[in-house]
Amino acid sequence: MCALFGRVLVVLLLLAVVFGCAPKKVRIYESTSGIRGDIIQTSASFIGKPYRNGAKGPDAFDCSGFVYYVFRQSRIALPVSAAGILKMGYQISRDGIQPGDLVFFKISKELHVGIMLNGREFIHASKSRGVAVDDVDSSYWQKNLLSFRAVL
């Protein structure tokens, strides 16, 4: 009886490890092709990569390093700092957002930048979670929202 219980416990633990560590499924975003589609696909491929201050990828990123690296993969040159990126392109309204546009936040006097995936979700290098997807309408992000910019 004890041996059977031990085997069942081992099988259950293995199942928990296998299914608990399964890769996170990335939601399918608005059908996007061309350069915008490339930006979205590239950015999504880094979900889960760790945050490291000053890192420009591909093994770790800070927020501006992530945007810099993703756009560079599509041969689009952007500055490496969030302040520099904020000066690029042009400001757009919330209604004009397209996948691949940028979103900026002001958090404790520091700039933070991410890439819009659709009209609501963005991907960014989070200090606490690494590269992750968040909702711009969540209370935390909404209260720190600065602007949206198009660089494509």
CATH code, 64: 3.90.1720.10
Evaluate whether residue 113 is within a structural domain.
Answer: yes
pLDDT score for 91: 97
Evaluate whether residue 12 is within a structural domain.
Answer: no
- Which residue, chain included where needed, has tokens 């198009």? 150
Give the catalytic positions in this structure. Answer: 63, 112, 124
- Domains in the chain, number: 1
- Banded model confidence at residue 24, pLDDT cuts 50, 70, 90: very low
Residue 62 identity (one-letter amino acid): D
Contact 50, 58 (CB under 8 A): no
Evaluate whether residue 118 is within a structural domain.
Answer: yes
Tokens of 139: 């209370």
pLDDT greater at residue 55 or residue 31? 55
pLDDT greater at residue 9 or residue 138? 138
* pLDDT > 80? residue 68: yes
Evaluate whether residue 13 is within a structural domain.
Answer: no
Evaluate whether residue 25 is within a structural domain.
Answer: no
d(CA 120, CA 117): 7
* pLDDT > 70? residue 74: yes
Q: Which residues, listed in sequence order, are joined to residue 125 by a DSSP beta bridge?
A: 131
Mean pLDDT (the chain, rounded): 85
Over residues 93-116, mean pLDDT: 96
Residue 102: give the domain boundaries.
31-150
Evaluate whether residue 61 is within a structural domain.
Answer: yes
- DSSP 3-state assignment of 16? helix
Evaluate whether residue 3 is within a structural domain.
Answer: no
* pLDDT > 50? residue 57: yes
d(CA 43, CA 62): 13
Largest Cα separation within the chain, whole Å, is: 70
Evaluate whether residue 11 is within a structural domain.
Answer: no
pLDDT score for 33: 78
Residue 112 identity (one-letter amino acid): H
